[in-house]
Amino acid sequence: MTKILEATAYLVDVEVETVRTDAVQAFLKQETVFVELRTDDGLTGTGYSYTIGTGGTSVLAMLRDHLLPRLRGCDARLVEHLWHNLFAATRATTVGAITSLALAAVDTALWDLRCRRAGEPLWLLAGGFRREVPLYDTEGGWLHLSTDDLVKGALASQAAGWPGVKLKVGKNRVDEDVERLSAVRAAVGPELDIMVDANQSMTHAEARRRAAAFEPVGLSWFEEPLPADDVEGHVALARSTTIPIAVGESLYSAAQFRDYLARGAASIVQVDVARVGGITPWLKVAHLAETFNVHVCPHFLMELHVSLVAAVPNGRYVEHIPQLRAITRTEMTVRDGHAVAPDGEGLGIDWDRDAIENRRVS
């Protein structure tokens, strides 16, 4: 038995590195919730999850009031057992964003402990399919940027050897979106993957209209065109367009992914380890998607997702949105357009403890 002696949680605000806007919101700050678990073998596991501006204190309260007290004295090796026990203990608030984010902070800490105890990196213990995965850039594609800025960003990514870029869509008029996408395609040629993201901003009718207008651009996927709970709408949209439909960043359980995959409503799965409840359910979603011959291209959290995408055979892309540089000592390694999974033991994130302490929210 490896007993958990201490379980603590705290909140850290991380400033946004660049202005980020989409069709429905602006990314104002990252509220980062940390969990630390200390065990009787002298190890400490660090896990985390996040919100983009609201709800961080609610996640912290869920952890402190309901989840962490149940961990003390438990065997840290029993990752599946602990996840299910905590899930069952919060039945009244599952499935829900706050509970899933809290579970994720605990689960990633347990996986950090598991990897440290084994002396192995996450990408290897979670599956070990390959070390490097393709990278696409989102930072050059925000909705407030001009067409010229989008073109410059895409050309820079292409020159760096990155195989793809993602552009936000949802301008007031369809011709505005088409003009921006067409300009980027004309600049980069057919070789670069171009993805678009509507951030759940469209009605079904509007999404069909825009998908038809976007098809000549040759897009790799159309992300979150409709509200995430509109499974039927995504089914109908997927049948009406040749553009692959991508969903997942706003789904909070493996069962929700099952519904999308079984109905043919998603051709790309974008499961977010924080929002789905941790590494344990993330891997279940990835393996489920594999049985449907569907790629996994997770949302955000590149510093953690690089290891998970490298772990599974259907991992296709890591999204480049750097957000942890203010509280880490090292950055994710990029080589020839690919993100390289860290080879150190644990999650592979080199936390700057002093910087974290300076940003703690009392």
By annotation, the residues acting in catalysis are 168, 299
Backbone angles phi, psi at 185, to 5 degrees: -60, -40
How far from the centroid of its chain's Cα atoms is residue 48's Cα?
A: 13
Direct distance between the N- and C-terminal alpha carbons of the chain, in angstroms, rounded to an integer: 34
Residue with tokens 């925000």: 142
Cα 319 from Cα 335, distance rounded (Å): 15
β-strand partners of 39: 4
Furthest C-alpha separation in the chain = 62
Q: How far is CA 285 from CA 30, 139, 175, 230, in A?
A: 25, 26, 36, 19
Backbone angles phi, psi at 26, to 5 degrees: -120, 145
Cα 288 from Cα 256, distance rounded (Å): 11
CA-based nearest residue to 325, from 344, 351, 305, 288: 351
Q: What is the DSSP letter of 244?
A: P
CA-based nearest residue to 184, from 162, 156, 161: 156
* 165 cis-preceded (ω within 30 degrees of 0): no
Sign of CA dihedral 22, 26, 28, 33: negative
